[in-house]
Amino acid sequence: MRDLKVAKRALKLAGNCCEMDPTHASFLRRNGSSLYMEPHHLIPMSMTDYFGVSLDREQNIFSLCSNCHNQIHYGKKEAVQQMISKLFLSREQEICSILGRSITLQEIYQIYKVL
Ligand SMILES: [Zn+2]
Ligand SMILES: [Zn+2]
């Protein structure tokens, strides 16, 4: 199960900006003064059993604007690879530390089926 509080903390840690590019536009949330962003689990929650660890952790959750969030799920392979690479390299240590092992970009591309 996803913990909404964890996702909210992850967005706050990112300053409620898009981690692909902080200049990406969004709108103000109805309740509160922060920009609307969407939490994205870089290593998908569906891989929880495979890795045998909780993936619902701030270190694995990125703040993305709606457009980037849709692109990372539905965009062209090359674009998705670039996005994954940028996000992963910005937080490689933290992600490997929650996985308890190292992981390569190639492995993540395989998980996203963009190889
Ligand atoms: Zn997502
Ligand atoms: Zn964005």
Determine the pLDDT at residue 113. 98
The rounded average pLDDT for each run of 10 residues, N- to C-terminus, in the chain (115 residues) is: 95 98 97 94 98 98 98 98 98 98 98 97
Distance 31 CA to ligand 1 centre (A): 23
**Contact criterion met (CB below 8 Å) for 71 and 64:** no
Rg, C-alpha atoms of the chain: 14
Distance 42 CA to ligand 1 centre (A): 7
Determine the pLDDT at residue 32. 86
Nearest residue to 57 (alpha-carbon basis) of 10, 115, 104, 102 = 10
Nearby residues for ligand 2 (ion, Cβ within 5 Å): 18, 20, 24, 65, 68
